[in-house]
Structure 1
């Protein structure tokens, strides 16, 4: 999407998680789905940034254990990093609340909440799908209600110097919506609007809330999907991970309540006066220049070719 002149496909100096300004020393980071795909990349970047504690929630105990071992090897000082893993289905309200109750019993307060886990129940036959309503509603339940509950539990700890990093998707604002994404796309749009609304009710000093599209990453799930061989500009998961770290810091204060792409250049965005406008870079109405998905992918390809 032609938003900044530079369209990044890999990490770069301004968002590098090893930058002293982005240090996570002393912070506890809670990451949903942090043991695989983009979530694991985010866990890696917070580890490299020197986080004091990672709380990683996922469905598979084996995958969580593997991620923990990998992250401890990656840590600058493994002895200074504590990693807590919780195998559970966060869509189950009982399990989610149990995780937060356990953290409270241990005297642990989370500083950064990364809302990464999501489901993308596809409906290939659109409205003609036999279980169309059930699939769409299950997607909303996970992508909207679950993230709302997690955010509520997080903010109940206290509201000073907190950060919520919400991993969203370009599907939230691409129009028209493809029939196969009749559940996923509107659920992500709803999540984006929800995060905006929560941000509007909080001062950035209380809890900084930033939503971003992690780009096009060839994750394990993507490689098994219809998108695996799509002719689009793929970016590294390192870009997504480092951007998440950057988005949790004061460097990203100007994005409180906004929705951006990790591919957009942060220095160019900082220089944009438009971010002073309350409606800029937020989920909402589009005018006659709305892009179809094909036009969007074509624009991305054009940007990459011009930069080559």
Structure 2
């Protein structure tokens, strides 16, 4: 449906629908490499594969379900980077969809260790990609709160939360991909932030570790 809408509203767009597995290493790599060959050079890469394990305490988790979060949320980024980065155009933008809830203390998100832990790992991985590929603009994006199957799988209640629109997320990503936002390299950003206020803090962001994953209190006095 998303591809169909893009083709209907964008005259110059070309659609290449591709499907592939996300959990088997060899077939994953083959599928993404196949996609890379068909897509060719690109300007913006958005990595949105995700898995939400059923909520449960760590000791009660089904290991396969728990670990699938790392297979999908983390490993898929490595596979995509290895297959697609060589085909990136100059000054390409790379975004990974993450969850803003990962910033909350575990007491605020009980029974979501698989989801939150894998998202923290995902963000750190994106920081490494940003450091290793300064020719590309790389950051993680929290898209806001949307009523999706993954959202409901986490046992969240849309009636109790400030929900966002899909348009907000889409417009934010277009804004984010513009050259003026390179100061956000390697950072985590939220689609529901005020972009003018965010831009006003550019110097603070580029000269500190703000909006990154780290050890609270570092650097130590």
Same fold (TM over 0.5): yes
Given that residues 93 and 146 in structure 1 are in contact (C-alpha distance below 8 angstroms), is that contact kept between their aligned partners in structure 2?
A: no
Structure 2 residue 57 is matched with structure 1 residue 122 = no
Aligned residue among 83, 103, 106 for 1:153: 83
* Correspondence for 1:193: 124
Q: 2:189 matched to 1:260? A: yes
Match of 2:210 in 1: 280
SS at 2:161 equivalent: coil
- Conservation of the 8 A alpha-carbon contact between 2:52 and 2:154: no
CA distance in 1: counterparts of 2:184 and 2:159, whole angstroms:
30
Q: Which runs of 5+ in 1 are unaligned?
A: 1-65, 288-308
1:123 CA drift (Å): 3.3
Provide the rounded CA distance (Å) in 2 between the counterparts of 1:144 and 1:107. Answer: 22
Structure 1: distance between partners of 2:47 and 2:182 = 18
Question: What are the equivalent positions in structure 2 for 1:24-35 lying under 5 Å apart?
Answer: none
Give the CA deviation at 1:158. 5.0
TM-aligned CA distance change 1:107 to 1:198, over 3 Å: closer
What residue number does 2:137 align with?
Answer: 208
Instruction: Please tell me whether the aligned partners of residues 145 and 162 of structure 2 are also in contact (alpha carbons under 8 angstroms).
Output: yes
Q: Gaps spanning 5+ residues in structure 2: where?
A: none
Kept in 2: contact 1:165–1:247 (CA 8 A): no
Sort the Cα spacing of 1:104 and 1:285 in 2 relative to 1 into closer, same or farther, 3 A.
closer
Structure number with greater CO (CA < 8 Å, separation at least 6) is: 1
Partner Cα distance (1:218, 1:234) in 2: 8
- Find the partner of 1:162 among 80, 83, 92: 92
What TM-score do you get using the length of structure 1 for normalisation?
0.63
Cα shift readout 1:227-249 (whole Å, capped 9, x = no counterpart): 23342211101111121222222
- State whether structure 2 residue 6 is matched by structure 1 residue 71: yes
For residues 73 and 137 of structure 1, do their structure 2 counterparts lie closer, same or farther at Cα, with a shift above 3 Å needed? same
Q: Does 214-223 or 102-111 show the bigger shift?
A: 102-111
Change in 2 beyond 3 A, CA 1:254/1:103: same
Structure having the higher helix fraction is 2
User: What is the aligned-residue RMSD (CA, Å)?
Assistant: 2.3
- What does residue 304 of structure 1 align with? none
Residue 62 of structure 1 aligns with which residue?
none
Deviations 1:205-262 (A, max 9, x none): x111011211111234435652233422111011111212222221321100111111
Report the TM-score, using the length of structure 2 for normalisation: 0.86
Shift of 1:119: 0.3
